[in-house]
């Protein structure tokens, strides 16, 4: 079976769902820990404020009027976005084997793609207000996406690709 649909039909749904969900959840957790830590240290922001900022993409400035409902929306939205990113990487890796064989380097490129897509397409088209970013914030966020988030997704996908006996 040469097609992605054929591969998905022939593989265990548990296996590809585990790969996608694990990759998205690991990347999402790493990203939130980074955001909470970085913004907590640099600007004194608390996690609820970070999650409200994420929710503002869907809710606009109303996200800052209700702390916990908006924070919950931001939390879920954040993980949904990264699970979708992991699903996209998984789908591409079915067709392009180098995404699995060279997972870290491919993941670095994917991390850059995630960063660019979010910051230059998704966020500008969302309801989020314009946030001010300093050069150190941009460099650190870009670096985390390139060196950690993209590779976390890629390496997780590759891990689940290996036969069960080798894990």
User: Residue 51's domain spans which residues?
Assistant: 13-166
Residue 2 placed within a domain? no
What lies within 8 Å, CB to CB, of 40 at 6+ separation is 46, 47
pLDDT, mean of each 10-residue run, the chain (167 residues): 48 84 98 97 96 98 94 98 98 95 97 97 96 94 98 97 62
Q: Domain for residue 1, yes or no?
A: no
Rounded to an integer, what distance in angstroms lies between the CA atom of residue 124 and that of residue 131?
Answer: 10
18: in domain: yes
Q: What is the DSSP letter of 57?
A: H
Structure confidence at residue 166 (pLDDT):
53
Number of domains in the chain: 1
Q: Is residue 4 part of a domain?
A: no
Please indicate, yes or no, if residue 5 is contained in any of the structural domains: no
Does 28 reside within a domain?
yes
| Whole-Å CA distances, 72 to 52, 77, 138 | 8, 8, 25
Whether the predicted model's global pTM rises above the 0.75 cut? yes
pLDDT of residue 9: 44
Interatomic CA distance for residues 149 and 68, integer angstroms: 26
Pull the structure tokens for residue 114: 């995630």
Quick check: is 99 in a domain?
A: yes
Q: Is residue 116 one of the residues assigned to a domain?
A: yes
Question: CA dist 91 to 19, 129, 149, 154, 157, Å?
Answer: 11, 32, 17, 11, 10
Model pLDDT, residue 3: 52
């Amino acid at each position: 079976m040469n097609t992605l649909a054929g591969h998905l039909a022939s593989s265990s749904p548990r296996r590809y769902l585990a790969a996608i969900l694990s990759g998205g959840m690991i990347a999402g957790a790493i990203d939130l820990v980074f955001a909470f830590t970085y913004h907590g240290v640099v600007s004194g922001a608390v996690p609820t404020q970070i999650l409200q900022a994420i929710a503002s993409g869907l809710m606009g400035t109303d996200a800052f009027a209700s702390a916990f409902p908006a924070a919950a929306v931001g939390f879920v939205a954040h993980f949904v976005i990264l699970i979708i990113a992991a699903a996209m990487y998984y789908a591409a890796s079915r067709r392009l084997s180098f995404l699995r064989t060279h997972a870290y380097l491919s993941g670095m490129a994917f991390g850059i793609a995630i960063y660019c897509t979010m910051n230059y397409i998704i966020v500008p088209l969302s309801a989020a207000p314009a946030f001010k970013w300093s050069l150190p914030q941009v460099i650190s966020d870009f670096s985390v996406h390139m060196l950690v988030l993209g590779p976390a997704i890629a390496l997780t996908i590759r891990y689940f690709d290996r036969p069960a006996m080798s894990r």
